[in-house]
Amino acid sequence: MEENTVVRPDPVGENPAADRSAPPIVPILILVVLIIMVGVNALANILPINNLTTGEVSDQLGNLFAPAGLTFSIWGLIYLLLAAFTVFQFFPPVSAEVAGRLKQVRLFFTLSSLANAAWIFCWHYLALEASLVLMLVIL
């Protein structure tokens, strides 16, 4: 004899994963922050900001610690992983531990992304002291 099993949706408040989810606006804000950071970095070289590309500013300052241009190709992978992190925000976390870690990482992601966008402007307008402070925030 087969048992008929009726699958019912969890009543409101009984789905532990849903209880751990961030408010719906949070993933959207994370996406906006990512777009701002990537957009400012792209425009820095497309426009360019202050009529200088990021590399031209570096060359103009003649610092002793400028890595080879190939080194900066890592940013493609970094942007890809940040985009994956952003997409991940739209799904409920699998556990309370993951939810807690996501909450912590979101704060650092937001701060570092906005600092990165601000750094581009400081760098392109040769505000070196502010640029250094923002680099420390990014780290």
Taking the chain, what is the end-to-end CA distance rounded to the nearest angstrom? Answer: 64
Q: Is residue 50 part of a domain?
A: yes
Q: Is residue 99 part of a domain?
A: yes
- Spatial distance between the Cα atoms of 121 and 36, rounded to a whole number of angstroms: 13
Q: What is the per-residue pLDDT for 61?
A: 86
Whole-number average pLDDT of the chain: 88
Q: Is residue 129 part of a domain?
A: yes
Q: Does residue 9 surpass a pLDDT of 80?
A: no
38-61: pLDDT as tens digits: 999 999 999 999 999 998 998 898
Q: Is residue 79 part of a domain?
A: yes
Q: Does residue 2 surpass a pLDDT of 60?
A: no
The C-alpha angle 117, 120, 125, rounded to 5 degrees, equals 135
How many distinct structural domains can be found in the chain? 1
Which residue range forms the structural domain that includes residue 43? 22-59+75-138
Q: Is residue 114 part of a domain?
A: yes
How many residues are listed for the chain in this entry? Answer: 139
* % of the chain exceeding 90 in pLDDT: 72
Q: Is residue 12 part of a domain?
A: no
